[in-house]
Structure 1
Amino acid sequence: MLQLGDEVTLYSFVFMFVFLGTRSPLWSTVLTTSLYVFLAMFRFPQVASSRARLMLHPAVGGAESARVSVIAHRGGAHDAPENTIAAIREASKNGATGVELDLEFSADGVPILMHDDTVDRTTDGSGALSQMTFSELRKLDAAAKHRLRYKFAGEKIPTLVEAVEECMKLQLSIYFDVKGHPDEAAAALQHLYRKHPVLYNSSMVCSFEPKVIYRMRQSDPEVLTALTHRPWSLSRLGDGTPRFSSPWKQYWMTLMDVLLDWAHHHVLWRLCGISAFLMQKDFVSLDYIQFWAQRGVEVVAWTVNTDVEKEYFENVLRINYITDSLVEDSEPHF
């Protein structure tokens, strides 16, 4: 539930920011009031917390579980070729509670599992998804670049439908990660939810892009959603290296990062009515978890890839986490 302090802080900040920029009490009042009206009219309410718990903490033995859920990133990209049926099966075999899967589209509009907008990194093919039909994609070996490629040789790029049906069969929860295509993704997922109503309590739509989440809520307000975030993602790579050689561009994108981070934590989450917030693990703390808990939002950390980290998130922070491997330590992932 939205805290009173949030409202006061938000509108006070906006009023003072506009006032300092314009020196006009009138414009400060008008713009602050406009923001209030906009949020009041267009924000989506959060889905009932009881439903969010069903998804985030799946039942064990017929009763709701309080245990930490372990989610296989891209199906468990270290343990099997990412975003494949083989990865989903390996994740289930290795004890995952659920899987995170990336949604993309072929040139002819077929929803598939793929993280990148090209096939070069993970398959034996080359080219952009936007230029390849599904029949062309189906001929590729999705295990070609994986460290265990000989074990999984010939693994195919699956459709979204195939992946979802496999997850339901294995009783895995699903985190649908949508990188773009808000209209196409919303339509494809809406069709799936209507065909398989069980997904309403066993899956969640996530994205770095708030417009994707907002479009999903417009399409179906009953779908559980989450925003994904990593501070400084616009100006720096995951290891902290600046993205841009130009000092001015680096400075500008750093400023954009500050604004984006503020917007995620004070405006965008309530506009979208999210149930969870997926945060890069290095920025998660007990205080941060409490910040979101006061707003009825659960934190899920990504990507927790060592035994030491897993023990910390399971036994100290006690929150769900996403990992590349269920069986051993793997390389850091930002």
Structure 2
Amino acid sequence: MLQLGDEVVLYSVVFVVVLLGTRSPLWTTALTASLYLFMVMFRFPQVPTSRAKQVLHPEKGAAGSGKVSVVAHRGGGHDAPENTLAAIREASKNGATGVELDLEFSADGVPILMHDETVDRTTNASGPLSQIRMSELAKLDAAAKHRLRDKFAGEKIPTLAEAVEECIKLQLTIYFDVKGHPHEAAAALKELYKRHPVLYNSSIVCSFEPKVIYRMRQSDPDVVTALTHRPWSLSRLGDGEPRFSSLWKHNWLTLMDFMLDWAHHHVLWKLCGISAFLIQKNFVSPDYVQYWTQRGVDVVAWTVNTNVEKEYYQELLHVNYITDSLVEDCEPHY
């Protein structure tokens, strides 16, 4: 739930902005009241705290004095080919609490593990997923371009069902990272939760797209969910460089970034009823963690890859983190 201060600030800001725009106290009051009623009627409540805690802070694999969950990014893409069964097994062997897995779809609608919209970066083929059927994807080598390709030669692109079964067998928490396709993803995940009820206490659905999370809560309100966010992502690349050379476009998207960030922190999290907020590591601080703790929301940082950073999150912040490697320092994926 939003704190009283949040409620007052949120609707005060809306009231002032609308008043300045319309110069009509009547319309301003009506529009602000309409927003309030919309939030009351259409927001989802958070799942019970006890179950969210079971998902976010399981005993298995907890690290440090604060029982921090260590989650392998894309299954641990530095230690094994990302988003594969080999990566899941390697993450378990190296002591991960859970794995973050990317959900995408083949041309014939089969839910699979893949981060990109094409197979170019990770396999021995090229082309968009939207044009490759599962029967063809099953023939590709998912280790072809990995640094340890000789060790994992021939590793296949797994279906979502295969990956989930492996995680359940290894007792790993699953962070489902949904890249898009809100309706298809919600339907596929709902079927998985129906087939494997253990997932309600051992998995969380995450996405950069609020509509994905809202659709998931519509489909199954008992699923634990999280919003994923990197501030200034519209105007800047992952390394901080401007995304566009045009000054006008850069400034416009910077304004959009500000509005999106404000919406995430004051409206969208409550509308979706999330239990966790996945944030790029550069924006995490003790005050930031406290901000979300007061709202009953866990912070999860990504992508934390050096030993110094890991110690900081485990021993000082006591915050869950996502990492590319359980065993080495490495460069992060954005």
1:199 equivalent in structure 2: 199
Deviation per CA, 1:113-137, whole angstroms, max 9, x where unpaired? 0000000000000000000000000
- Asked whether the 8 Å contact 1:119–1:128 carries over to 2, the reply is yes
1:24 equivalent in structure 2: 24
1:264 equivalent in structure 2: 264
- 2:212 paired with 1:212: yes
Q: Distance in 1 between matches of 2:19 and 2:246?
A: 32
Matches within 5 A, 1:286-305: 286-305=286-305
* Residue 307 (structure 1) shift: 0.3
**Structure 2 counterpart SS, 1:315:** helix
Code of the residue aligned with 2:117 in structure 1: it is D
Deviation per CA, 1:30-86, whole angstroms, max 9, x where unpaired? 11111101101100000000000000111359xxx9500100000000000000000
* Residue 17 (structure 1) shift: 1.2
Code of the residue aligned with 1:156 in structure 2: it is K
Q: Distance in 2 between matches of 1:81 and 1:112?
A: 15
Unaligned 5+ runs, structure 2: none
Code of the residue aligned with 1:206 in structure 2: it is C
- Asked whether the 8 Å contact 2:182–2:215 carries over to 1, the reply is yes
Q: Distance in 2 between matches of 1:281 and 1:76?
A: 17
Code of the residue aligned with 1:284 in structure 2: it is V
Code of the residue aligned with 2:72 in structure 1: it is A
Deviation per CA, 1:265-294, whole angstroms, max 9, x where unpaired? 000000000000000000000100010011
- 2:288 paired with 1:325: no
2:98 equivalent in structure 1: 98
Q: Distance in 1 between matches of 2:18 and 2:7?
A: 17
The range that moved more, 316-325 or 27-36, is 27-36
* Residue 249 (structure 1) shift: 1.0
1:238 equivalent in structure 2: 238
Q: Distance in 2 between matches of 1:148 and 1:30?
A: 61
Matches within 5 A, 1:82-93: 82-93=82-93
Task: Report sequence identity in percent.
Answer: 80
- Asked whether the 8 Å contact 2:97–2:173 carries over to 1, the reply is yes
1:149 equivalent in structure 2: 149
Code of the residue aligned with 2:241 in structure 1: it is T
Matches within 5 A, 1:145-184: 145-184=145-184
- 2:39 paired with 1:39: yes
Code of the residue aligned with 2:155 in structure 1: it is E
Q: Distance in 1 between matches of 2:2 and 2:260?
A: 20
Code of the residue aligned with 2:122 in structure 1: it is T
**Structure 1 counterpart SS, 2:21:** helix
2:188 equivalent in structure 1: 188
- Asked whether the 8 Å contact 1:57–1:66 carries over to 2, the reply is no
Code of the residue aligned with 1:152 in structure 2: it is F
- Asked whether the 8 Å contact 1:205–1:213 carries over to 2, the reply is yes
- 2:153 paired with 1:129: no
Unaligned 5+ runs, structure 1: none
Give the total of aligned pairs.
331
Q: Distance in 2 between matches of 1:182 and 1:67?
A: 32
- 2:67 paired with 1:67: yes
**CA-based RMSD:** 1.1
**Structure 2 counterpart SS, 1:328:** coil
- Asked whether the 8 Å contact 2:88–2:99 carries over to 1, the reply is yes
TM-score, normalization: structure 1? 0.98
- After TM superposition, what 4+ stretches of structure 1 lie above 6 angstroms from structure 2? none
- Asked whether the 8 Å contact 2:60–2:97 carries over to 1, the reply is no
**Structure 2 counterpart SS, 1:278:** strand
- Asked whether the 8 Å contact 1:104–1:112 carries over to 2, the reply is yes
**Structure 2 counterpart SS, 1:35:** helix
Q: Distance in 1 between matches of 2:60 and 2:95?
A: 13
Code of the residue aligned with 2:138 in structure 1: it is R
1:316 equivalent in structure 2: 316
Q: Distance in 1 between matches of 2:327 and 2:75?
A: 13
- Asked whether the 8 Å contact 1:304–1:323 carries over to 2, the reply is yes
- 2:271 paired with 1:283: no
Q: Distance in 1 between matches of 2:59 and 2:195?
A: 22
* Residue 19 (structure 1) shift: 1.3
- Asked whether the 8 Å contact 1:113–1:157 carries over to 2, the reply is yes
Q: Distance in 2 between matches of 1:10 and 1:141?
A: 50
Code of the residue aligned with 1:182 in structure 2: it is P
- 2:4 paired with 1:4: yes
- Asked whether the 8 Å contact 2:66–2:315 carries over to 1, the reply is no
**Structure 2 counterpart SS, 1:74:** helix
**Structure 2 counterpart SS, 1:289:** helix
